[in-house]
Amino acid sequence: MPYAVITGTGHYVPEKVVKNDDLKAFYDTSDEWIYERSGIRERRFAPEGVGPADLAIPAVKQALERAGVDKTALDMVVFATLSPECWFPGSACFLQEKMDLPTIPALDIRMQCSGFVYGLSIAEQYIKNGMYRRVLVVGAEMQSTSLDLSPEGRTVGVLFGDGAGAVVVEASQTGPGIVSTHLHTQGKYARELWIPEPSSLKRPKVSPDLKGLYPYMNGKEVFKHAVVRMKESALEALESAGWAPEEVDWYFPHQANYRIAAAMADQIGLSMDKFYMTIHKYGNTTAASIPISLSEAERDGSLKKGQKIILTAFGSGFTWASAAIVW
Ligand code: UT7
């Protein structure tokens, strides 16, 4: 059985920096409130007309270049996003068109903040069972157009940002690369963090009186579950790999809230020094947050070959997922 190894990473964030104070144009809020509650200082917003596939292109190009893989050699694309260009088809189809990729399977998955780790697991399985040799996994989000910029939207609106990350996963005779992945869902909490409309339960699906177009989040409930599930799934990955928490070089938590990562680190008995954080710069980029962190960590020299890392994510669904990887 081949190993599944991440051979290239890339990321892209739009140029426009939106500082906490800039959000005062829409909301009754402050830099102090946002930073203390979430750890966010700023995020990026892309201009209207840009979709997740557009944001993904520079990230994918970097990942392919770093892997030394030509786009014609890809066997599959897995694209995780909760903010696709349209109802259907998925963002992966647009990426395939815009990058002129071969007519390979281009699969969208909708696992929200856990989407990238789910995508990695799909890539891992296709590679380990021998069906494919090179899979591109993308997490990309255009969230800014979905945010409620009216005064009522402040609790959710200050948290999210746009961006994209990508990795190339390849079959290899030398590993271990991706040691294991672990996936979970608990749909009974689906309505605690969701965008309920437009909904196919209604006719017409889109009407002038839609009230659920913007993300709704029961913040405190989501926070509690996020700490427990991200910790649990990190421990699950550690146990499966046979690693003690302190022998891991880096933890890459989904960037939802600095306090969530800090609570999780505390409960595992680790310092935040081992947690790679980008939330202060980019806010919560949902499916893009972990691949952006991986790519940045590789570029700034923090993440090195042979290091042991744990990815752990939690989000709408509820969904949660983790991975143990030797880089
Ligand atoms: O990626 C998916 C997973 N997402 C998450 O994991 C997010 C989880 N939740 C959270 O991170 C936190 O619940 C938040 C950061 C969203 C909110 O923090 P909180 O400590 O739970 O605050 P809260 O919602 O209870 O609000 C506290 C107060 C309220 O005022 P009162 O009722 O105490 O007078 C809010 O109205 O803060 C007020 N508030 C704000 N004030 C200034 C809410 N949003 C804002 C704001 N600026 N943007």
Task: Clarify whether 20 is annotated catalytic.
Answer: no
Distance 254 CA to ligand 1 centre (A): 18
CATH fold group of domain 178-326: Peroxisomal Thiolase; Chain A, domain 1 (3.40.47)
Q: Domain segments of the chain: what residues? A: 3-172, 178-326
Of 110, 134, 113, nearest in space to 124 by CA: 134
Distance 201 CA to ligand 1 centre (A): 30
Is 178-326 in the same CATH topology as 3-172? yes
Q: Hey, whose CA ends up nearest to atom 30 of ligand 1?
A: 155
Task: Clarify whether 86 is annotated catalytic.
Answer: no
Total count of residues recorded for the chain: 327
Supply the DSSP symbol for 272. G
For residues 126-152, give the mean pLDDT.
97
Cβ-proximal residues to 80 (8 Å cutoff; 6+ apart), any chain: 108, 109, 110, 111, 115, 116, 118, 119, 137, 138, 139, 140, 287
Task: Clarify whether 254 is annotated catalytic.
Answer: yes
34-79 pLDDT tens trace: 999 999 999 999 999 999 999 999 999 999 999 999 999 999 999 9
pLDDT tops 90 at residue 129? yes
Superfamily of domain 3-172: Thiolase/Chalcone synthase (3.40.47.10)
Choosing from 113, 182, 225, 257, the catalytic residue is 113
Based on C-alpha coordinates, what's the Rg of the chain? 19
Ligand 1 atom with the smallest distance to the CA of 257 is: 11
185-228 pLDDT tens trace: 999 999 999 999 999 998 888 887 788 999 999 999 999 999 99
Pocket of ligand 1, candidates 155, 225, 254, 285: which has the most ligand atoms within 8 Å of its Cβ, to mutate?
A: 155
Tell me, what amino acid is at 115?
A: G
Is the distance from CB of 108 to CB of 79 less than 8 angstroms?
yes
pLDDT of residue 207: 83
Q: What is the pTM of this model?
A: 0.97
pLDDT tops 90 at residue 296? yes
pLDDT tops 90 at residue 317? yes
